[in-house]
Amino acid sequence: MVDPRSFISSLKAQPWYSGQIVAVKELPAKEAEYAEEARLLKTPFPEPLERYLSARGIRLYSHQVEALERIRAGENVVITTPTASGKTLAFNLPIFERLHRDKKATALYLYPLKALTNDQLRAIRELEEATGLALEAAVYDGDTPQHLRPKIRERSRVVLTNPYALHEYLPWHYKWQRFFQNLKFVVIDEGHRYRGVFGSNVALLIRRLRRILSYYGSEPQFILSSATIANPEEFAFKLTGKEFTVVSRDGSAHGPRYFIFWNPLKYPARSAHRQTSDLLALHVESGLQTLCFTISRALAELVARWAKEAAPERRIASYRAGYLPEERREIERGLKERELDGVAATNALELGVDIGGLDAVIISGYPGTVISTWQQAGRAGRGREPALVTLVGFENPLDQYFMNHPEEFFSRPHEHAIIDLENEHILMGHLLCAAAELPLGRSELKLLGANEDHLKPLEGKFLQKSSVGWIYRGTVRPVDLVNLDSISERTVQVLCDGELLETMEFNRALEEAHPGAVLLHQGETYLIKELDLEKDVALAAKEEVDYYTDALKISEVSLLRAHRTQEVSGLELGLGELRVTERVIGYRVRRYERTVGIKDLQLPAVEFETTGLWLALPDSLRGEVERAGRGWPGGLHGAEHALIAMAPFYAMCDRWDIGGVSTPFDPDLKGPGIFIYDGFPGGIGITEKLYELLLEWVEATYRLVRDCPCAEGCPSCIYSPKCGNQNRPLDKEAAVAILAAIREALSASA
Ligand SMILES: [Zn+2]
Ligand SMILES: [Zn+2]
């Protein structure tokens, strides 16, 4: 393949090059680490598996052997090695081995998305065929035809499904008696996807499953596969309630990788998206087969079109979720067989789909997490060949933070994935489901993280105490009361052509499904025509638009209860319960990065209680800032925006999952302060994690603002596109001074 260094030189020779390459990081090639032959396996595999491995010439990597030996030993294992390192084989081998030896044993595989289930079924069927083990593996979810269902429940020994389907079918557990009684393994693939509100719901769903299983006398092993996260053990424990062993040392081989940080802001005359297509065109013209990730379907198509115009004799396509399965398979095949030179795609291609390795990947816009960035980057690399990855940073704080501090991308651990088992809104719903599945005994409450106090408000209308435990007596199916993607009971259904597009929390809907909002759904753009708050329905139409909308929101907070407080050098920090009032007052229309209009909205205010943290600042600091001739309220406001912008780097969340308020005088704090809170009723554990990581978070935020090359503040540091106060007042130097003071106080106490 093309030598990466000479490619980089040719990039620099382009007429449109103006210093955009702010860093190139070379990651050395890695040799494979195989398990040493002598201690390859403690005991050999049964003949069919042995035959499969030798027929395919598969040599197991060290981490595969480690994982499979631990699974054989009965441990719960979480595997966090990179994409394409053979994670699936590492757990499929011991599972197949067990199912071969124990002719009744069964296994349940859980995937976060339907599309993945079908992909994985293919892999499992191949293994079934190659080994001659007839396990009748099948997918069981909403798409499974009715007439096939009884047969699967009665005969299949491997069932693949998703949490939504499991939630729906758990009340019918008696039909699954054979399968559940013999269940030896629960595999949770793409585990890192179960975080935040979704993850917290799934954690309780898994506890409901465990309770049903123990009723049928089985206690299966759990196997979790996940992208690299900072806290795999804690995360796996919270998700399942079980202790896990982590297998993270990757034994697979790869060639050298070149990671280019491309800052389009160095050449303001050409948009970041145009520069992306310039890059894609140059890559394919140089003979590098390239996959370019964009943030939306509209951009995937634009970038592909522009690149085709620039490189007409090359084969370039776009790929997105909305295509027909046949179309997608065709593009996947084209990539794998190298009939396509370049593809611009939404993150639909980030997950499991097999497309083989490419020469290069362009990531246009930081995908929001270090995890996703590595998963997308992992698409580049074929065997020992060198691979090129280019990250194009947009004009927003996290993107520009990496552009200004590329070394941080490699040196810091990945984000913490968060699951909150203490959100009472989530817990209540699952308690009802559990009581409807089987009478809920007192001793079982602990498994669900509940106690009798949680049941009191439900008694009477929903629950009845009996000699066998609490029994559900409500009138609706409790599984209909619980939506795995949300917390509050009040949700809004977004409909398009009479079909349900998605269900949203009420608060979310005010922000994302107000009239005029552009809604991104699986990379497609929809325009909201109407939001009916009497029926809680939003009507959307599929439209290709080239602009985005950001809701403008104002909030107020009051402090209800402090859980933790500390004082360091005159700075008071706290974590506790807040009452938040938020109101969406309008929205901003952005075409690419520019604001092209602001519109007003009349929507009701929402009030909720949640978890939040606060920083109460000493008045002496105000004096210092003002003596330097800087604006104190503008400094507080800027620091608040920047802290929120950096938060997703520490606690895996979206910038918009948290909210904030800053004020020169807060009546609860009796002085100036900044509040940051979880934007969900009851809280979801984000600010709790931020409170734990306070010093690191403040430190990085300080560096973000200090090192931003702008003079007076900009969208890459202290501006927020959703600020209901139109980003006024803001004072960058004062924000730096305030963040520096907080950082100093915190590090003095550390
Ligand atoms: Zn700036
Ligand atoms: Zn603001």
The 10s digit of each residue's pLDDT in 674-699 is 999 999 999 999 999 999 999 999 99
Instruction: With beta carbons less than 8 A apart as the criterion, state whether 690 and 647 touch.
Output: yes
Express each pLDDT in 98-123 by its tens digit: 999 999 999 999 999 887 888 889 88
Is 546 a domain residue?
no
pLDDT at residue 40 in the model: 64
From the CA of 230, how far away is ligand 2's center (Å)?
Answer: 30
Instruction: With beta carbons less than 8 A apart as the criterion, state whether 672 and 664 touch.
Output: yes
User: In this model, does residue 489 exceed pLDDT 80?
Assistant: no
From the CA of 659, how far away is ligand 1's center (Å)?
Answer: 20
Provide the strand spans (E) within 358-451: 360-364, 387-392
From the CA of 641, how far away is ligand 2's center (Å)?
Answer: 6
Specify whether 441 is located in the same domain as 470: yes
For residue 441, which of 455, 429, 427, 428 has the smallest C-alpha distance? 455
Q: Domain ends where: 441, 462, 481?
A: 481
Specify whether 243 is located in the same domain as 266: no
Distance CA 468, CA 445 (A): 14
From the CA of 733, how far away is ligand 1's center (Å)?
Answer: 11
From the CA of 483, how far away is ligand 1's center (Å)?
Answer: 40
From the CA of 639, how far away is ligand 2's center (Å)?
Answer: 10
Ligand lying nearest the CA atom of residue 555: 2
From the CA of 637, how far away is ligand 2's center (Å)?
Answer: 6
Express each pLDDT in 80-89 by its tens digit: 988 778 889 9
Express each pLDDT in 630-665 by its tens digit: 999 999 999 999 999 999 999 888 877 899 999 999
The percentage of residues in the chain with a pLDDT greater than 90, rounded to a whole number, is 75
Ligand lying nearest the CA atom of residue 735: 1
The percentage of residues in the chain with a pLDDT greater than 70, rounded to a whole number, is 98
Ligand lying nearest the CA atom of residue 404: 1
Query: Between 560 and 33, whose confidence is greater?
Result: 560
Specify whether 473 is located in the same domain as 457: yes
Task: Please tell me whether the peptide bond between 604 and the residue prior to it is cis, using omega within 30 degrees of 0.
Answer: no
Mean pLDDT computed over 593-605: 90
From the CA of 674, how far away is ligand 1's center (Å)?
Answer: 20
From the CA of 395, how far away is ligand 2's center (Å)?
Answer: 17
Specify whether 376 is located in the same domain as 338: yes
Instruction: With beta carbons less than 8 A apart as the criterion, state whether 343 and 317 touch.
Output: yes
From the CA of 511, how far away is ligand 2's center (Å)?
Answer: 15
From the CA of 719, how far away is ligand 1's center (Å)?
Answer: 8
Specify whether 238 is located in the same domain as 268: no
Structure-token match 């698409």, residue found: 379
Specify whether 97 is located in the same domain as 217: yes
User: In this model, does residue 476 exceed pLDDT 70?
Assistant: yes
pLDDT at residue 38 in the model: 40
* Type of residue found at 178: R
Ligand lying nearest the CA atom of residue 717: 1
Specify whether 260 is located in the same domain as 243: no
From the CA of 131, how far away is ligand 1's center (Å)?
Answer: 59
Distance CA 512, CA 494 (A): 10
Specify whether 707 is located in the same domain as 737: yes
Structure-token match 């794998």, residue found: 336
From the CA of 634, how far away is ligand 2's center (Å)?
Answer: 9
From the CA of 730, how far away is ligand 2's center (Å)?
Answer: 8
Ligand lying nearest the CA atom of residue 400: 1
From the CA of 647, how far away is ligand 2's center (Å)?
Answer: 16
Ligand lying nearest the CA atom of residue 637: 2
Is 582 a domain residue?
no
Express each pLDDT in 309-344 by its tens digit: 999 999 999 987 667 777 888 888 899 899 999 999
Confidence of residue 352 (pLDDT cuts 50, 70, 90): low
Is 583 a domain residue?
no
State CA 242 to chain mean position distance.
22
From the CA of 582, how far away is ligand 2's center (Å)?
Answer: 13
From the CA of 654, how far away is ligand 1's center (Å)?
Answer: 20
From the CA of 732, how far away is ligand 1's center (Å)?
Answer: 8
CATH number assigned to the domain comprising residue 372: 3.40.50.300
From the CA of 583, how far away is ligand 2's center (Å)?
Answer: 13
From the CA of 463, how far away is ligand 2's center (Å)?
Answer: 44
Ligand lying nearest the CA atom of residue 709: 1
CATH number assigned to the domain comprising residue 659: 3.30.1360
Ligand lying nearest the CA atom of residue 727: 2
Burial of residue 429 (CB within 10 Å: 0-12, 13-18, 19+) is buried
From the CA of 394, how far away is ligand 2's center (Å)?
Answer: 20
* DSSP assignment of 393-409: P-SSHHHHHHHH-HHHH
- State how many domains the chain has: 5
From the CA of 625, how far away is ligand 1's center (Å)?
Answer: 19
Stretch (H or E) spanning 153 = helix 149-155
From the CA of 366, how far away is ligand 1's center (Å)?
Answer: 17
From the CA of 595, how far away is ligand 1's center (Å)?
Answer: 17
Is the Cα torsion angle 224, 226, 230, 235 positive or negative in sign?
Answer: negative
User: In this model, does residue 544 exceed pLDDT 90?
Assistant: no
For residue 418, which of 656, 96, 588, 193 has the smallest C-alpha distance? 193
From the CA of 633, how far away is ligand 2's center (Å)?
Answer: 11
Express each pLDDT in 196-229 by its tens digit: 999 999 999 999 999 999 999 999 999 999 988 9
Is 23 a domain residue?
no
Express each pLDDT in 713-733 by its tens digit: 999 999 998 899 989 999 999
Specify whether 92 is located in the same domain as 204: yes
Residues 6+ apart with CB under 8 A from 107: 95, 99, 157, 158, 159, 183, 184, 185, 186, 187
Q: Domain ends where: 231, 247, 263?
A: 247
From the CA of 505, how far away is ligand 1's center (Å)?
Answer: 33
pLDDT at residue 346 in the model: 85
From the CA of 669, how far away is ligand 2's center (Å)?
Answer: 20
Is 587 a domain residue?
no
From the CA of 660, how far away is ligand 1's center (Å)?
Answer: 19
Distance CA 341, CA 311 (A): 10
Q: Domain ends where: 354, 379, 394?
A: 394
DSSP count for the chain of H helices, then E strands: 25, 27
From the CA of 593, how far away is ligand 2's center (Å)?
Answer: 18
Is the Cα torsion angle 441, 447, 448, 454 positive or negative in sign?
Answer: positive
From the CA of 712, how far away is ligand 1's center (Å)?
Answer: 7
Confidence of residue 39 (pLDDT cuts 50, 70, 90): low
Ligand lying nearest the CA atom of residue 633: 2
Express each pLDDT in 242-280 by its tens digit: 999 999 988 888 899 999 999 999 999 999 999 999 999
Burial of residue 142 (CB within 10 Å: 0-12, 13-18, 19+) is exposed
Query: Containing domain of residue 472, as a range?
Result: 424-481
Ligand lying nearest the CA atom of residue 732: 1
From the CA of 720, how far away is ligand 2's center (Å)?
Answer: 6
Is 644 a domain residue?
yes
Is 408 a domain residue?
no
From the CA of 706, how far away is ligand 1's center (Å)?
Answer: 8
From the CA of 577, how far away is ligand 2's center (Å)?
Answer: 21
Specify whether 337 is located in the same domain as 458: no
From the CA of 341, how far away is ligand 2's center (Å)?
Answer: 44
Ligand lying nearest the CA atom of residue 729: 2
Is 738 a domain residue?
yes
Specify whether 450 is located in the same domain as 523: no
Specify whether 44 is located in the same domain as 135: yes
